[in-house]
């Protein structure tokens, strides 16, 4: 089963959106396979966003991610990487459709509430970084009602 890395960013935690976000992934039919509240340090945040290190907003992005606790999660399910990105919405909340998390709860690209892996390959890398012990191995008893 496909896995993705989802993180509620510090603004999402401070604004009390953790439950709402978990609920949207649960109700869709995805399975929670790992979750922890943690505060990451600068080195760790820079590693997570290493691909963006040349961008002009890199420093402020890292400051934002280390500004408070985040909720790191592993979600599993059919096409969870691509569908997870659709649930999250476009990077810039000005362009995120209503009904998406960013479309419903954010106005600013630098405070866009949530992160989601953008490819299966990056999901593997991000899960390895954030969850060195891997996912929790369990199967939902609802699975036959969600998947053929
Ligand atoms: P996403 O988070 O949708 O995968 P990304 O990987 O391109 O987007 O960028 C990571 C984060 O960096 C993004 O969630 C918010 C911030 N960011 C991206 N583009 C930005 C910009 N033009 N100005 C300020 N922050 C930006
Ligand atoms: Mg990204």
Which option is the CATH number for 2-145: 3.40.50.2000, 3.30.70.141, 3.20.20.70, 3.90.550.10?
3.30.70.141
Tell me which of 3, 24, 48, 115 is the catalytic residue.
115
Match 């299966």 to its residue by tokens: 120
Which ligand has its closest atom nearest to the C-alpha of 52? 1
Distance 92 CA to ligand 1 centre (A): 7
Cβ contact 71:13 at 8 Å: yes
3-state secondary structure of 11: helix
Q: Give the model confidence (pLDDT) of 6-39 as tens digits.
A: 999 999 999 999 999 999 999 999 999 999 999 9
Give the tokens for residue 1.
């089963």
pLDDT at 28: 98
Q: Give the model confidence (pLDDT) of 45-57 as tens digits.
A: 999 999 999 999 9
Q: Give the model confidence (pLDDT) of 74-125 as tens digits.
A: 999 999 999 999 999 999 999 999 999 999 999 999 999 999 999 999 999 9
pLDDT at 5: 99
Hey, where are the domains in the chain?
2-145
Cβ contact 86:100 at 8 Å: yes
ipTM, 2 decimals?
0.98
Taking each continuous run of H as one helix and of E as one strand, the counts in the chain are 8, 4
Cα within 13 Å of Cα(35), Cβ side: 12
Residue 115 annotated as catalytic:
yes
- The predicted model scores a pTM of 0.98
Torsion of CA 81, 87, 92, 95, to 10 degrees: 130
Cβ contact 88:20 at 8 Å: no
């Amino acid at each position: 089963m496909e896995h993705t890395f989802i993180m509620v960013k510090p603004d999402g935690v401070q604004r009390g959106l953790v439950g709402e976000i978990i609920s949207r992934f649960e109700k869709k039919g995805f399975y929670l396979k790992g979750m922890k509240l943690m505060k990451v340090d600068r080195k760790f945040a820079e590693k997570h966003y290493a691909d963006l290190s040349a961008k002009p907003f890199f420093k402020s992005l890292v400051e934002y991610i280390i500004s408070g606790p985040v909720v790191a999660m592993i979600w599993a399910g059919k096409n969870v990487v691509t569908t997870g990105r659709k649930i999250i919405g476009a990077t810039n909340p000005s362009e995120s459709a209503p009904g998406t998390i960013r479309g419903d709860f954010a106005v600013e690209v630098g405070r866009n509430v949530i992160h989601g892996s953008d490819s299966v390959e990056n999901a593997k890398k991000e899960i390895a970084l954030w969850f060195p012990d891997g996912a929790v191995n369990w199967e939902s008893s609802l699975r036959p009602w969600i998947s053929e």
